[in-house]
Amino acid sequence: MIRILVRYSVLFVLTLLVLTALSFVLAYLFPGDVLVNLSGITPENEVQRDALVRQYRLDQSYLIQFWHYLQQLMNGNWGYSFTSGLPLREEVGLALPATIEISTYAMLMALFIGLPVGYYAGIRSYSLSDRTINSVSLISYSVPVFWLALVLILFFSLELGVAPLSGRISLMFDIPSVTGFILIDILLSEHIDHGLALRDALHHLLLPTLAIGTITTAAMIRITRRSVIDVLQKPYIAAARARGLSRPQIFVRHVMRNASLPILPLMAIQITTLITNAMIVETLFSWPGIGNWLIQAIYQRDYPALRIGMLAVSTLVISLTILVDMFNRMLDPGRERFERGAI
């Protein structure tokens, strides 16, 4: 157990180091002035420039520069956005939780719908209902997420008018960002009608969650179904059946637990897809998340923002992946790490 923990911590730190190094190198790779790319401040005169060069140790060797960069990151000095002039830490701090929030809800949707449906399809494998579920999930899995989002907007917002299409909450509400998670922030804020605000926020959550969640749910169904079918073909199921266990008994005692184990690492891969999809969908729903922010940054060629945004998103995704992987490894030490399968 401790061995695994240590191994994964080392892996985690190493990966973070590589990522930080990458983001440092980006400052050199991006077009324009390295100093501006690193700091986000355009020096107005030579004196200020020299001061900044000294501050960022640009007059010293690359290794020292990197060491200094690392320290700055640790201290929370991430530089400034080139276009808004605000500290990047603040901007990422506002945007990242919004993405995490929407992804969490989509993941919850996948768990609450995908898992049961997947189990059901797996147990009824090759029956009509299984084929239907399988086909529907394959279809949902093939829909381009941006198109799905547009279709949802067209149908639910413009035709039926049941759901709003932009943002996290009506702009009439002025909710100060404390945790970055809108539902919690609403509960924490004062001087507003909490019921009204919560209803408004949930209303806004509906379509983006549906757009991202559909694809993850489809993936979840397929993974679960496959896993259940694999388990059902195992000799110990035949043995249990021979012993005269009823189907619910077999399901609860053998299938459910054994089928759940391979799902976890496969879901870890879905995290990447999920966050990518969330980032794309954000731009359509004007969701103030990191994807929207990064895409605005690339349109505006805001290099300091891209540098930090890349670091933040990849750190998030990789931490989650490693965490899930470690968790899985602890539960099931015999398994080959990072098992990847077809969906």
Partner 1 sequence: MIPRSQLTFPLFFITALCLLSGCTQSADDAFYQSGVIYCSESNPVYFNPQLDTSSTTTDATSHQLYDRLLDFEPDSGRIVPSLASSWMISDDGLTYTFQLRKDVSFHSTSYFTPTRNFNADDIIFSINRWRLPSHPYHPVSGGRYPYFESLGLADNIASVERINGYRVEITLRQRDSSFLANLATDFSVILSKEYADQLLKQGIPARLDQFPIGTGPFRFVGHRKDHYIRYHRHPDYWQNKHSAEQLIFDITPRSSLRLAKLITGECDATAFPAQTELNVIRNRENLMLAEKPGLNIGFWAFNTQRPPFDNPDVRRALAFAIDKNTLLEAVYFGSATRAKTLLPAASWAYQDDADDTAYNPVLARKLLDDAGIEPGFSMTIWAMPVERAYNPNATKMAELIQRYLADVGIRATIVSYDWSTFRRHLRDGLHDSVLIGWSADNGDPDNFYRPLLSCSAIPSGTNRAMWCNEDYEQLINQALQTDEIEKRRAIYRQANRLLYEKLPLVPIAHAYRYQAYREVLSGMAINPYGGVRFSGVKKAQ
Partner 2 sequence: MARFSLYDEEFHPSPWQQTWQEFRASHIALVGLFVLLMFIIFSVFAPWLVPYDPLEQNVDGLLIPPSWQLNGTVSHLFGTDALGRDLFSRIIYGCRVTLGSSFILVILAMLVGVSIGAIAGIMSGVRSSILNHLLDALMAIPTLLIAIIIVAILGTGLVNSMWAITLALIPQFIHHTRTFVRNEMKKEYVLASRLDGASNFQLFFNSILPNMIELLVVQGTLALSIAVLDVSALGFLNLGAQPPLPELGAILADGLDVAYIAPWNVALPGLTIFLMVLSINVVGDGLRSALRKRVSH
CA distance linking residue 18 with residue 10, whole number of Å:
12
User: Are the CB atoms for 137 and 173 separated by under 8 Å?
Assistant: no
At closest approach, how far in Å is the CB of 68 from partner 2?
22
Binding footprint of partner 1, residue count (CB under 8 A):
51
Residue 3 in tokens: 């061995």
With H, G, I as helix, E, B as strand and everything else as coil, classify residue 299.
Answer: helix
With H, G, I as helix, E, B as strand and everything else as coil, classify residue 80.
Answer: strand
Binding of partner 1 at residue 97 (CB under 8 A)?
no
At closest approach, how far in Å is the CB of 301 from partner 1?
5
Question: Among partner 1, partner 2, none, what does residue 196 contact (CB within 5–8 Å per kind)?
Answer: partner 1
With H, G, I as helix, E, B as strand and everything else as coil, classify residue 226.
Answer: helix
Beta bridge partners of 80: 87
Using the rule CB under 8 A, give the single segment among 64-72, 113-121, 130-138, 322-330 that binds partner 1: 113-121
Residue 16 in tokens: 């973070």
Report the interface residues with partner 2, using CB under 8 A.
11, 14-15, 18, 26, 29-31, 135, 138-139, 141-147, 150-151, 154, 269, 271-273, 275-276, 279-280, 283, 291, 294-295, 298-299, 301, 303, 306, 309-310, 313-314, 317-318, 321-322, 336-338, 340, 342-343
Question: Among partner 2, partner 1, none, what does residue 286 contact (CB within 5–8 Å per kind)?
Answer: partner 1
Instruction: Write phi, then psi, for 224 (nearest 5 degrees).
Output: -65, -45
Using the rule CB under 8 A, give the single segment among 166-174, 230-238, 318-326, 328-336 that binds partner 1: 166-174
Binding of partner 1 at residue 175 (CB under 8 A)?
no
* Closer of 11 and 192 to partner 2 (Cβ): 11
Residue 84, classified by CB atoms within 10 Å of its CB into exposed (0-12), middle (13-18) or buried (19+), is middle
* Closer of 110 and 305 to partner 2 (Cβ): 305
* Closer of 153 and 324 to partner 1 (Cβ): 153
* Closer of 173 and 339 to partner 2 (Cβ): 339
From 320, 314, 274, select the one nearest 294 (Cα to Cα): 314
Around Cβ 318, how many Cβ atoms within 10 Å? 18
C-alpha to C-alpha distances, 201 to 118, 245, 287, nearest whole angstrom: 30, 48, 12
From 57, 71, 61, select the one nearest 20 (Cα to Cα): 71
User: Are the CB atoms for 186 and 199 separated by under 8 Å?
Assistant: no
Question: Among partner 1, partner 2, none, what does residue 112 contact (CB within 5–8 Å per kind)?
Answer: partner 1
Binding of partner 1 at residue 131 (CB under 8 A)?
no
State the residues that interact with partner 1 by CB under 8 A: 81, 83-86, 94, 109, 112-113, 116-117, 119-120, 123-124, 153, 157-158, 161-167, 170-172, 174, 193, 196, 198-200, 202-203, 205-206, 246-248, 251, 284, 286, 288, 292-293, 296, 299-301
